[in-house]
Amino acid sequence: MSDGQARHDRWARLVPAGYSAILALLITGPLLGSGYLLLRDAVSTPRSYPTDSALGLGDAAPRAVPQDALIVVLSPIVDGGLIVKAILLVALWAAGYGAAILARELLRVTTGPQLVATTVALWNPYVAERLLQGHWSLLAGYAALPWTALAAYRIRSSTHLRRARGTRRPDDAPHSTDALGRTFQVKGGGRTAFGHWGALAACLAAAGLTPTGALLAGFMALVLVGRRNIVGTVVLLLAASAPWLTATALSAAGSEPSDPAGIAAFAARAEPGLGTLGSLAGLGGIWNSDAVPNSRTTLLALVGTFFLLAVVATGIRAVVAGNTSAGIYFIAHSQRAGVQTRRRLLVLAAVAIALPALGATAWGRDVLEWLVTSVPGAGLLRDTQKYVALAMPAYALCAAAGCNAVAQLFASKDRPAANATLAQPHCQSTDEIPRAASPLRSSATAAAASRTEPASEPASEPASEPASEPASEPASEPASEPASEPASEPASTNTVTRSPEGRKTAAVISLTATIFIALLTLPMFDLGWGVSGAIRPVHYPIGWQRVAERIVGPGDVAVLPGGMFRRFPYSGRAPVLDPAPRMLPHDVLQTGELPVHGRTVAGEGARAREVESLLLHGGTATGLAKLGVGWVLLERTTPGPLGESKNSLAQLDPVYSDTHLALYRVPEAADRDTESHSTRRTISAAAHLLWVALLIGGLLLASWSPRTPQHQ
């Protein structure tokens, strides 16, 4: 390969990364300004504190563990608002880039189809709706899915290789036989299986920023790694889930069932002209009809879903196909791993769409209601539309394969005879095909069919030769070579890709990718720029900081008005979670009750409900002190029930007051700390440290894993 071609290929690999960054910036653009994310469930604050709630040990279920603890540790160093923005931006970038890498490795597609895969992963209703709902940390789990699939595939492939290696004599040289019966040697190297396990550990830990994210990545890993790797995967998943599993076991809310009313309240919802199943198949259907882009409230939802499913449908056949007629015998086991991975991703996508649809039916709700009332922790399953995220990797692969298939179809019309075999699905793993023999470059090889090349340069073989010849991959470790690290390149690559036929095919691919991207983005044009400005930073009044500075002394904090959601003048029209629990240095009591569609879904905070009832009925200061309340915060500028709380406030000591907030001290308050409480915090801290070790250790192992020796 010439230096010019090598530079071209290196730049080509950077294009999907840059394109993903552009889309991520376009989606989150308004958040780049100063201020804090405060929208529905999303609450970022300048500084967070190591309260019991941050560790998941409060009265409410640990739904934000370990995300809150992570911000607690980092916010004294970096502003908490910047941390949340950075995590969200990196998550969106990683989702798009991961989809491109997955398509490149499992399908061997080049830049155009990779960009289509990136578009599917980022520009879809799931991302828009979860952003509007404020689920920024769930999107970290969403972003980990293509990387989890990639790590699981590599682990599975390396397992197949170890089995295959045992059937070959030690003195056999790595070789391959092409479709014309010629034999050639190959060489290459790859990272050891330890690196792949490290990558999987890091993916599970990153997804484990929330419990739902851990479940998403865990489901995908268990489906893809193969039965021989199940035990190791379960161990990693338990370690990644240690913070919230520990909090569930230690907190009072861990053994309490969830309110069955939440099943109907959080069921998937039908969008205009689609029905529930169609909405889910289009990666939409969130329960909250207010947390959707305006375009999804019109018939554009139907148009966008039709285009998305049409793009996906064009590539299903290529993704399913095994293409076992390549004549490459020594890589059969690795090829099987790639085919099985793709097929399992498709099955997982179908299940991830079908089950939430069934959960929205009457008998499906009955089953889920039984689960949440009988199985502790099953409340994580009530928002079933979250799990549609599992369809994204398969959708991205199908869209990339479809782009390739359509481009090959148009390119082959001028050369039907030369491209007869090239029109077949080219969907081997990264270790089955060198980059030069990529499916999107394969039609260019037809131009070189009349030339006679050495047997060691399969990239310039006749057009009848399939694109699956591993001209540069090792026979003993195909599964461990990342798609972006080929050991060598055929010398004829530069000549072939610069031929007139190659340039024409590249132009067709670029045009097809452009059309696909337009079909995917235009129906939901309002996802850009923070979903048309709905996602924007806010600025807190200075009173929040002054209140936090004055809370020095024993007791938890009770908040008025009652309820968990607020509508501040500075937060916009959408309701937002009360920022007090993340803004104040003491635990803030919250009932966990959620108003949904005119009904209230009960929470787990029994003590918080008792305190709230006492305040709304004008209870005594002594009663508040007995319940462990040391402070009462009145948020003046938000609507909500106040009841007879003025009688209770009259018995308290005023500490701070301005136009937005008023803080009162409860006389004779005392802390409720006990020896068992300290023990629970220690155990929870240890679980969080295990999660951090898994995240950092996995990244280091994946990056520094030694390479296997090359075979000549």
Given this model, what pLDDT does residue 442 score? 39
Q: Mind listing the pLDDT tens digit for each residue in 60-103?
A: 888 899 999 999 999 999 999 999 999 999 999 999 999 999 99
Query: How many other C-beta atoms lie within 10 A of the C-beta of residue 14?
Result: 10
How far apart, in whole angstroms, are the C-alpha atoms of residue 470 and residue 480?
A: 14
- Strand 629-635 and strand 556-560: the pairing is parallel
The proportion of the chain whose per-residue pLDDT surpasses 90, expressed as a percent, equals: 67
The whole-angstrom separation of Cα 155 and Cα 230 is: 11
Residue 180 has pLDDT above 50, yes or no: no
More confident call, 468 vs 395: 395
Query: Quick one: pLDDT band at residue 705, thresholds 50, 70, 90?
Result: low
Alpha helix stretches (DSSP H) within 177-322: 193-207, 211-224, 230-240, 242-250, 261-265, 275-281, 300-320
Decide if 75 contacts 265 (C-beta within 8 A). Answer: no
User: What is the distance, to the nearest Å, from the Cα of residue 139 to the centroid of all Cα atoms in its chain?
Assistant: 5
pLDDT mean over 400-422 = 73
The residue behind tokens 């059937």 is 167
Place of tokens 């029109």: 423
C-beta separation of 463 from 449 below 8 A: yes
Q: pLDDT band at 258, cuts 50/70/90?
A: confident
What is the distance in angstroms between the CA of the first residue and the CA of the last residue of the chain?
18
Find the DSSP H helices in 285-331: 300-320
Look at residue 440 in the predicted model and tell me its pLDDT. 38
Residue-wise pLDDT tens digits, 351-383: 999 999 999 999 999 999 999 998 877 888 999
Q: Which two tokens stand for residue 457?
A: 């340069």
631: which strand partners? Answer: 557, 665
Structure tokens at 570: 């500075």
In sequence order, the β-bridge partners of residue 629 are 556
Q: Tokens 């099987």 appear where?
A: 336
* In the predicted structure, residue 492 carries a pLDDT above the cut 80: no
Amino acid in the structure at residue 235: V
Find the length of the chain.
712
Q: What are the angstrom distances between the C-alpha of 48 and each of 11, 70, 269, 532, 540?
A: 41, 10, 35, 29, 14
Write the CB contacts of 328 (distance below 8 Å, at least 6 apart in sequence). Answer: 176, 177, 178, 335, 432, 468, 469, 470
What is the spatial distance between Cα 125 and Cα 268, in angstroms, rounded to a whole number?
Answer: 13
Mean pLDDT over 53-60 rounds to 89
Give the Cα separation of 203 and 266 in Å (integer): 28
Report yes or no: 476 and 711 within 8 Å, Cβ to Cβ.
yes
Place of tokens 């995908």: 220
Q: How far apart are CA 323 and CA 634, in angstroms?
A: 67
DSSP H or E stretch at residue 594: strand 594-596
State the pLDDT at residue 603: 84
Please give the DSSP secondary-structure letter assigned to residue 465: S
Q: How far, rounded to the nearest angstrom, does the alpha carbon of residue 526 sit from its chain's CA centroid? A: 21
| Whole-number Å distance between alpha carbons of 284 and 296 | 9
Strand ranges of the sheet holding 537-538, from the earlier edge strand across to the other edge: 42-43, 36-39, 537-538
Three-point CA angle 333, 337, 339, nearest 5° = 115
- Give the per-residue pLDDT at 411: 82
In Å, what is the CA distance from 3 to each residue of 7, 86, 459, 485, 499?
6, 36, 18, 16, 17
**Positive/negative CA dihedral, 219, 223, 228, 229:** negative
pLDDT band at 170 (very low <50, low <70, confident <90, very high): very low
Instruction: Return the structure tokens found at 559.
Output: 């908040």
Res 697 pLDDT > 70: yes
Instruction: Confirm if 39 and 535 have CB atoms less than 8 A apart.
Output: yes
C-alpha to C-alpha distance for 276 and 353, rounded to whole angstroms: 10
Q: Can you give the pLDDT at residue 142?
A: 98
Provide the pLDDT for residue 415: 59
User: Is pLDDT at 129 greater than 50 in this prediction?
Assistant: yes
Are 458 and 178 contacting, i.e. CB atoms less than 8 angstroms apart?
yes
CA-nearest of 242, 233, 203, 288 to 62 is 242
**66 upstream amide cis, omega within 30 of 0:** yes
Beta bridge partners of 577: 565
Cβ–Cβ < 8 Å for 143, 95 = yes
Average pLDDT over residues 571-598: 92
Q: What pLDDT sits at residue 450?
A: 38
pLDDT of residue 1: 53
Give CA–CA dist 615/130, Å, rounded. Answer: 35
Q: Tell me phi and psi for residue 64, to 5 degrees.
A: -120, 40
Residue 151 CB-density burial (10 A; 0-12 exposed, 13-18 middle, 19+ buried): buried
Q: What's the rounded Cα separation, in Å, for the pair 651 and 476?
A: 78
Residues 6+ apart with CB under 8 A from 174: 185, 186, 187, 330, 474, 475, 476, 711
Tell me if 463 sits within 8 A of 456, measured CB to CB.
no
Over its C-alpha atoms, the chain yields an Rg (Å, rounded) of 28
Continuous segment of H or E residues that includes residue 662: strand 661-665
